[in-house]
Structures are given as structure tokens and as C-alpha cells.
């Protein structure tokens, strides 16, 4: 039990969330019930380096002049200066009649402003459901999903499509991108636990992001990386994590993504030769970040500086601890460059 608690806490959950059942809310259309998790202890003025959070994603919302930070755990922090934060709060509602069940884990959440609404992209896992077993590993139901709200701080509620991606595939770390054809896409990872060589893929979304259209397409595989390495150094690592897309000032389309160099969590960059999601994608030969930083995203602060939000990865007393950090970036040329650790 103690080990299980450590695992759940490493995902950014509080003790109250781990041990307290979820309250059931009002019924949603079609007879399904929605649940919003119990609110954790709210704090004000918390320094960034005092927050434990995996996969920190920042929405810099100009309408409210507020930074909204979410990530694994499905909680929300707010700030006006990136130095101190207020939170956390639960801002998502779960369709308990869906495949997620009552107590899904929530990983790698992102908030995107799109066509006047706010969309919550997140990975949900229902550990009570098994979809596959590969190489002796049980694979639970895990998939990217999208919730919607009229406000950046939620509440974010389910839309009508119960399944964006096939039920038999474990998928994670979905992000939003509108390509040169003007259509929105979800770019996500097909987990290495099933395919043994993690991939990054795309699937087209409906214009209101309420569902997906057609089937997914492969962008690249973990083994395409020249910089990642497995534990014994004999070949590339098989993990793909945290895709995030961007354009440089010259208009070049790139994607940051994360894997491992031995036991060091590390992020690299790939660039599309066609300038579209279809690629082909060419991997930079060297990683972008120092060791043990990964799962990043890119945003501008109020002064127009280009920043990377990312988490550090370390083991403390046998427990994985991840904290948000910011790095200053340069995108003036045709490739992304990491300048320095940024402390507001």
C-alpha cells in the first residue's frame, strides 16, 4: 500500500485525492453521471520551486492576463508573474459512465485556447480495464481525451465523443495543432508498452474538437532518434513522450519530444522537411535539454520572451520527484536553441 501511495503521489496527486472517494455530481446528457474530484488544499503565493508537478503546461491567457498551469494530476495553478502561484484546484469533470470509470488517473494535461473556447487535453487511465498484455506486462485502458470550457479555469466538461482513439491502443500526451490545411489535429504518443517502439502519431479532429475523424497516421518512431539510448547504450530508447509543436521565426515547423539517455530523462527536437505534420521528420542529432529535464512545452510571457516549461526528474529517498522549471529559448533562426535557466 505504501508503494502504491508513492506512485500516485509522484503523479502530482495530493494525499486527500489518493485516499478520498470522488463525489458524484449532476447527471450529464444521455443519462451519464459526471464526477468532479474533491478540492485539494488551496494555497496562495507558492513559489514555483515548491510545487511538485509532472508535465507542467502553461496557458498565457491574454484575456485575463493570467498564467494557468496544469499537468499530471489534473489540477490547476494560476499566477500573474510566473514566480508565485495560487492553487491547486480541481477543474475537470469526469463522465463516470464512460470507459474512464469513476477514478481515472490524469496525466500530461494541457489547456488550449481555440475558437473562443478553452480545451483540456489530457491522458486518462482506467486501471480496472485491461486492453492487452505484451512481454509479460499488463496494459490498462489509457487514452487521450478532450474536455471543454468557456473559461480558462474551467470547469472542463466532456463533449459528445466518448472515444477519440481506438480502445485497443494505449495512447498518451495528446496536444493540439492546426496544420497548414487549416484543420485541427491531435498529435500524441502510441505507448511503447504495446508496440515496443514508441511512436508519435496524428489524427484529425472535428472543427469543434468534439471528436476525431478517420484513422491515425505515423509521424516517427522512438528508434528514429540519434541521441536517445537504452540502459546498456546499445541502441535508441523506445520511449516517446510529450510532443509539442512550434514554428521558428523563419517558419520552420518543429516538434519537441522526450525520451531517455540511459537513466536520464531528456528532450530532443525534430523538424518537418515539408513544413507540415506529414513530414518527413528529421531528428536533431543532439538533445535540446540537459539530463533529467523533459516533457516540455513552449509559450511567450507578457514581455514577449519565448520560454520552455518543463519538469526536472530526480529520485529522492526512493521516490520520483518532478518540479516545474522554465528555460529561455531562442527561435530567431531555423532551429530552436536553449539559452539559459529562467527564474522570473
Section 25-33 average pLDDT = 34
pLDDT, greater one: 188 or 40: 188
pLDDT, one tens digit per residue, over 89-107 is 999 999 999 999 999 999 9
Pick the CATH number of 2-342 from 1.10.1040.10, 2.115.10.20, 3.20.20.80, 3.10.150.10: 2.115.10.20
- 253 contacts 273 by C-beta, under 8 angstroms: no
Reported as half-sphere exposure (CB side, CA atoms, 13 A), residue 49 has a value of: 4
Task: DSSP letter for 86, please.
Answer: E
Report domain extents, the chain. 2-342
Section 169-197 average pLDDT = 98
Give residue 110's region: left, alpha or beta (phi > 0; psi -120 to 50). beta
Q: Which pLDDT score is estimated for 33? A: 61
**CB atoms near residue 285 (< 10 Å):** 9
pTM of the model: 0.90
* Cis status of the peptide bond prior to 115, with omega within 30 of 0: no
d(C-alpha 313, C-alpha 43), whole Å = 24
Q: Which pLDDT score is estimated for 27? A: 27
Q: Strand 293-300 vs strand 281-283: parallel, antiparallel, or unpaired?
A: unpaired
- Closest by CA to 244, choosing from 289, 209, 214, is 289
Q: Is the pLDDT of residue 1 over 70?
A: no
Beta bridge partners of 67: 60, 79
Amino acid at each position: 500500500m505504501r508503494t502504491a501511495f508513492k506512485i500516485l503521489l509522484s503523479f502530482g496527486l495530493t494525499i486527500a485525492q489518493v485516499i478520498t472517494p470522488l463525489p458524484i455530481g449532476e447527471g450529464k446528457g444521455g443519462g451519464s453521471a459526471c464526477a468532479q474530484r474533491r478540492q485539494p488544499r488551496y494555497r496562495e503565493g507558492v513559489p514555483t520551486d515548491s510545487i511538485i508537478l509532472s508535465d507542467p503546461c502553461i496557458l498565457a491567457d491574454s484575456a485575463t492576463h493570467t498564467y494557468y498551469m496544469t499537468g499530471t494530476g489534473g489540477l490547476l495553478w494560476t499566477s500573474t508573474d510566473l514566480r508565485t502561484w495560487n492553487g491547486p484546484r480541481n477543474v475537470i469533470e469526469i463522465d463516470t459512465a464512460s470507459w474512464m470509470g469513476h477514478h481515472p488517473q490524469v496525466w500530461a494535461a494541457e489547456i488550449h485556447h481555440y475558437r473562443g473556447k478553452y480545451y483540456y487535453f489530457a491522458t486518462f487511465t482506467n486501471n480496472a480495464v485491461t486492453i492487452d498484455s505484451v512481454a509479460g506486462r499488463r496494459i490498462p485502458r489509457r487514452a487521450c481525451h478532450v474536455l471543454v470550457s468557456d473559461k480558462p479555469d474551467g470547469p472542463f466538461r466532456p463533449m459528445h465523443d466518448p472515444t477519440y482513439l481506438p480502445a485497443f491502443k494505449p495512447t498518451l500526451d495528446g496536444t493540439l495543432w492546426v496544420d497548414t490545411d487549416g484543420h485541427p489535429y491531435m498529435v500524441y504518443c502510441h505507448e511503447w508498452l504495446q508496440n515496443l517502439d514508441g511512436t508519435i502519431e496524428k489524427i484529425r479532429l472535428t472543427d469543434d474538437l468534439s471528436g476525431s475523424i478517420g484513422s491515425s497516421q505515423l509521424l516517427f518512431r522512438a528508434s528514429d532518434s540519434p541521441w536517445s539510448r537504452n540502459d546498456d547504450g546499445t541502441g535508441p530508447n523506445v520511449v516517446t513522450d510529450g510532443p509539442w509543436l512550434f514554428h521558428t521565426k523563419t517558419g520552420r515547423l518543429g516538434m519537441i519530444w522526450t525520451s531517455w539517455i540511459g537513466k536520464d530523462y531528456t528532450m530532443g527536437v525534430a523538424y518537418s522537411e515539408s513544413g507540415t505534420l506529414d513530414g518527413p521528420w528529421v531528428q536533431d542529432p543532439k538533445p535540446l535539454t540537459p539530463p533529467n529535464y523533459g516533457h516540455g512545452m513552449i509559450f511567450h510571457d507578457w514581455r514577449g520572451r519565448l520560454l520552455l516549461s518543463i519538469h526536472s526528474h530526480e529520485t529522492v529517498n526512493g521516490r520520483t520527484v518532478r518540479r516545474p522549471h522554465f528555460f529561455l529559448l531562442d527561435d530567431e533562426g531555423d532551429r530552436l536553441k536553449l539559452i539559459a535557466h529562467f527564474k522570473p
